[in-house]
């Protein structure tokens, strides 16, 4: 047996020590068999991660958030520990400008060829050259209702032509309070929605518009029974919320869950005549991600037509994959709440990035709204 000299033992110990010190000092181990993903809640089916892990041997740690505000704060603070995050494109615009993401290595993403050029063009507006973002799914902010309960609560009052009135006109929403009214729990969601209802630019940069929006919100505050960006799904399923300002797919999840669990609640995601607020939630790799090769493998896996289609089939959001359409089940593919038709698409409001000043204003007004001040 070869004898290990004392000096070799010292060198080895020093090397291990230095490596450990390097890691503790912020350097990152490269691509162990793990991938840390931070995504919106209720945005994936159970099979997708399992199949990816089985095929690649990469273990996925998967955490959830339910607002862009939460994700943004983590990214700005840095050292998130995540390899993939999924901001909406208008927030990603700020994060790209701030240098918080790394450029994609497109040679590792051959499935980019499957993506719809129209969606890529939308994303290129905030991510020139599509260098940082790959769309996960897209949808729109809208109004969801429990049809029977809303009809009963409105009584002789007919449904308004503009369904945003249900949420923001006291004449309607005060009647719906009795069956439960929920609003998304974020200023960046509710301010654009109320401005759009008021006929203003949803992403206005005009102070006066926000002052006017605050007054509209104040008038409906007594009728709002819940602020929620994820729990409202089950509240709709159980029947304790009859009107939600929420996200298209989440409302459709509630609809399907109510059918599957036979709660008897008839839930519908409405497509407003004057449009919903579109979002493109998109994957990106944080600057300091440790497992970059695994992140690319995951992105490429998601862009397989069958995988993107299975996301849509399970969470009722549209995918950006032109090759996936044939794998989307007909009742989802033909559901305009999931894939609005071309006329409806023309009415939809595209997302816009807002600077810090307006985002702060949104948060201030929203906090006043929530606390009833
Ligand atoms: N349950 C998934 C919800 C995803 C919503 N993302 C919306 C961002 C809108 N600005």
| Rounded mean pLDDT for each run of 10 residues along the chain, 373 residues in total | 35 36 43 94 96 98 98 97 98 98 98 98 97 98 98 97 98 98 98 98 98 98 98 98 98 98 98 97 98 98 98 98 98 96 96 96 98 89
Query: Which residue intervals of the chain are DSSP H helices?
Result: 6-24, 46-56, 68-77, 89-97, 117-124, 147-154, 165-168, 170-176, 187-197, 207-220, 232-238, 248-260, 292-302, 305-315, 330-333, 342-347, 356-371
DSSP string, 117-130: HHHHHHHHTTSGGG
Q: Which two tokens stand for residue 45?
A: 């089916």
State the pLDDT at residue 5: 39
Which atom of ligand 1 is closest in space to residue 42's alpha carbon?
1
Name the residue at shortest CA distance from atom 3 of ligand 1: 40
**How many CB atoms lie under 10 A from the CB of residue 129?**
9
Which atom of ligand 1 is closest in space to residue 351's alpha carbon?
10
* pTM for the whole structure: 0.91
State the pLDDT at residue 43: 98
Site to probe by mutation for ligand 1, drawn from 69, 87, 139, 351 as the one with most ligand atoms within 8 Å of Cβ, is 139
- The neighbouring-strand residues paired with 203 are none
Site to probe by mutation for ligand 1, drawn from 279, 280, 350 as the one with most ligand atoms within 8 Å of Cβ, is 279
State the pLDDT at residue 307: 98
State the pLDDT at residue 257: 98
State the pLDDT at residue 373: 79
């Amino acid at each position: 047996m070869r004898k290990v000299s004392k000096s070799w033992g010292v060198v080895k110990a020093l090397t291990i020590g230095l490596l450990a010190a390097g890691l503790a000092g912020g350097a990152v181990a490269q691509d162990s068999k793990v991938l840390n993903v931070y995504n919106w809640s209720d945005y994936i089916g159970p099979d997708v991660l399992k199949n990816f892990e089985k095929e690649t041997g990469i273990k996925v740690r998967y955490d959830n958030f339910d607002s862009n505000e939460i994700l943004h704060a983590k990214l700005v603070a840095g050292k998130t520990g995540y390899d993939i995050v999924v901001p909406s494109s208008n927030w990603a615009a700020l994060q790209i400008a701030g240098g918080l993401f790394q450029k994609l290595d497109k040679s590792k993403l051959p499935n980019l060829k499957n993506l719809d050029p129209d969606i890529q063009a939308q994303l290129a507006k905030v991510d020139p050259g599509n260098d940082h973002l790959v769309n996960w799914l897209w949808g729109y902010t809208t109004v969801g209702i429990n049809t029977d309960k809303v009809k009963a609560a409105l009584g002789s009052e007919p449904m308004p032509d503009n369904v945003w009135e249900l949420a923001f006109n006291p004449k309607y929403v005060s009647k719906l309070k009795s069956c439960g009214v929920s609003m998304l729990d974020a200023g960046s969601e509710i301010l654009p929605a109320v401005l759009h209802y008021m006929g203003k630019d949803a992403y206005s940069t005009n102070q006066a518009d926000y002052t006017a929006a605050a007054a509209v919100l104040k008038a409906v505050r007594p009728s709002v029974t819940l602020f929620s960006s994820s729990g409202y799904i089950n509240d709709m399923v159980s029947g304790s919320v009859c009107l939600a300002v929420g996200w298209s797919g989440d409302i459709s999840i509630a609809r399907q869950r109510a059918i599957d669990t036979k709660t008897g609640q008839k839930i519908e995601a409405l497509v407003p005549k004057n449009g919903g607020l579109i979002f493109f939630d998109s994957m990106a790799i944080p600057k300091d991600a440790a497992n970059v090769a695994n992140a690319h493998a995951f992105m490429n896996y998601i862009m397989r037509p069958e995988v993107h289609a299975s996301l849509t089939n399970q969470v009722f959001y549209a995918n950006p994959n032109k090759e996936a359409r044939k794998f989307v089940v007909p009742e989802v593919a033909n559901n305009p709440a999931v894939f609005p038709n071309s006329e409806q698409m023309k009415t939809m409001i595209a997302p816009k990035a807002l600077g810090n000043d307006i985002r702060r204003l949104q948060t201030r007004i929203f906090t006043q709204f929530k606390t009833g001040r």
